[in-house]
Structures are given as C-alpha cells and as structure tokens.
C-alpha cells in the first residue's frame, strides 16, 4: 500500500496556510498526503506573556512529540518559532523559499503620533525583540502584551484603546488579512529566520527526507542558518531581544545582527558582507563580536532576571 505522508500543523489559519504549501509541494511530486492539525501550548495559553512562559519551542513542542510518537511524519513550523537546538532524532527536512521578512505596524487611526515627541502612544506586542527595538526608538511609549493567532490579535487591537500593534508582515500577507491601515517598519530588524517555513521529520525517515529534499531552498537554508547560528551563539531564545537578517546578492552574503537590553536603552549591532565561500560560521563570528562589545553583560542580566 502506498505510504500516506501525515503532515502535522498547528490549527491556526496561518499555520494551515504554511502546511498547505508543503502539502502542495509534495502532491505535485505525486506523494499522497494528509493534514493533521494539533494544538500547541502556545495556542492554549493566550494570557501569559511568552517571555514569562520562558519555554523554548512552545509553539513546536506538541508537534515534535507527535512526530517522535509517530502520529505524524512531517511537522511544519514558522522557522522563527523553532529552537536552535532540535530535539534528538528530529532534523530539518526542507526550508521553503523565504517570504516577506519585515515587521509592520497596524495603526488605529493614523501614524501622526510617530512624529509627536511628547505623545505617549500605546503599542501592543508580546515579542521582547519588538518591544526593545520600539522602546529604543520611542522610549516614552507604553507597550502592551498581545497574544494569540493573527486574527485574534487583529480583533484585540480593534477592541482596545491602543494606537497600534506590531506584526510580522508574512503572517498578515500570507492569509490576506493585512489592513490598509498598516506600514512597514523598515528600521526594525527582524527575528532570526522570520518569513521562512521549515518542514522537519525523524532523522531515520529516509522516505520523508527524500520527498522534502526536492523543495529545499538552498539560499534560504544558508541565510537562516547564519541567523540562527548568531542566535544560538548569543544563547538567546524568546526571552532575549535578538535580531538578525542575512540575504544573498551578487554572490555576496549581507548580514546584520543586533542585541538590545529589554528596555532598549542598551544596544549592540554588527554587519558584514562576505563572499559565499566565506559564509561558514559567519553567524558565530558576528555574535562573538557582539559579546565582546558588551553584549555578554546584557545576556547575563536577562538570564539572571529570569
């Protein structure tokens, strides 16, 4: 009997969109597939801020368990949600071609408040990275926690007396819910691997590894590897304001990385341009620069505060 590849996914609209991308790529090669929606801890607890939960992989753990228990054959994740250390016996099977990487601000009425130094705006996000970068630029503003899937967060923004909320552009644009009242935050450096989708499977499942190899995007795999290496070397997770972005142009890798204190008052950054053949360990080298500049003290402070 022909094997059916069971694709595990969270059951949010965005997660299902991502899973359908993998599903379509597999069926185009002639594989039989089945989607298996699974609730994650991050979807169930929508009240506690992510940095208080403090668990790496909160959006991936339930799918990883289902994979190891052989309830599913492949798990599909937003790559930025995946811990830099995968569980034993689980490996990356394919990283899809990257989508939009930027963050954007969805505002309630207009963006005039961004040009008013004395105005205390109320901005919502549960990302410590977005909070820190926002406070670095607008230290007088008040930040509010905002949890839930994309649609839940948009509804919450509409209901609250906030000036705006910060989202990943990919999340809104992929499911066609980006409001007209939104602008790209070109100055905000994204999370490592933001905008990328990854499929993982068991390392001993050669059938699924072969099936996914055909749609692994080499450029996205390299650039996200550099970003995640930067994150891993800084020993950061969802509780540390770490940003990184790498892209390839004219056979050159362009990389920018940042580390902020939680309140945005301290900030370290680095940027590099290297040829493709010098890209190995670029993320690690960049992170070591940040640590040497004084970033190690910020990481230690955040760790001790936890």
The rounded distance, in Å, linking the Cα atoms of 246 and 192 is: 9
DSSP letters of 77-96?
A: EEGGGS-SSPPTTEEEEEEP
Taken in order 166, 40, 84, 274, the sign of the CA dihedral is: negative
State how far the Cα of 63 lies from the Cα of 288, in Å rounded to an integer: 33
Our answer to whether residue 81 is catalytic in this structure is yes
| Buried/exposed code over 161-178 (b: 16+ C-beta within 10 A; e: otherwise) | ebbbbbbbbbbbbbbeeb
Catalytic-role residue among 64, 73, 81, 163: 81
Long-range CB contacts (< 8 A, 24+ apart) of 25-34?
A: 25/96, 25/214, 25/215, 26/211, 26/212, 29/211, 29/214, 31/5, 31/211, 32/2, 32/3, 32/4, 32/5, 33/4, 33/5, 33/6, 33/7, 34/4, 34/5, 34/6, 34/7
H helices then E strands: how many in the chain? 11, 13
The catalytic residues are 81
């Amino acid at each position: 009997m022909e094997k059916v590849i069971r694709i595990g996914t969270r059951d949010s609209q965005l997660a299902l969109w991502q899973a359908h991308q993998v599903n379509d790529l597999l069926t185009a090669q002639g594989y039989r597939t089945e989607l298996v929606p699974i609730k994650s801890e991050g979807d169930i607890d929508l009240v506690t801020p992510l940095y208080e939960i403090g668990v790496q992989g909160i959006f991936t753990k339930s799918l990883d368990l289902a994979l190891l228990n052989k309830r599913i054959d492949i798990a599909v994740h937003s790559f930025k949600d995946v811990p830099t250390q995968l569980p034993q016996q689980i490996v990356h099977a394919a990283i899809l071609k990257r989508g939009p990487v930027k963050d954007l601000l969805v505002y309630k009425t207009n963006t005039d408040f961004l040009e008013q130094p004395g105005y205390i705006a109320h901005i919502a996000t549960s990302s410590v990275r977005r909070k820190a970068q926002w406070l670095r630029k607008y230290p007088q503003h008040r930040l509010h926690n905002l949890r839930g899937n994309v649609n839940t967060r948009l509804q919450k923004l509409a209901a609250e007396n906030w000036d705006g909320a910060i989202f990943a552009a990919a999340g809104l644009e992929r499911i066609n819910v980006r409001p007209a009242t939104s602008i790209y935050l070109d100055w905000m450096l994204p999370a490592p691997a933001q905008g990328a989708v990854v499929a993982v499977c068991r390392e001993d499942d050669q059938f699924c590894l072969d099936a996914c190899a055909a749609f692994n995007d080499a450029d996205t795999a390299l650039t996200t590897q550099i970003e995640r290496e930067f994150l891993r070397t800084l020993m950061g997770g969802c509780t540390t304001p770490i940003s990184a972005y790498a892209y390839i142009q004219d056979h050159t890798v362009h990389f920018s990385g940042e580390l902020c204190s939680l309140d945005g008052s301290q900030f370290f950054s680095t940027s590099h341009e290297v040829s493709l053949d010098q890209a190995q360990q670029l993320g690690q080298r960049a992170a070591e620069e940040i640590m040497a500049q004084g970033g190690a003290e910020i990481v230690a402070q955040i760790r001790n505060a936890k």
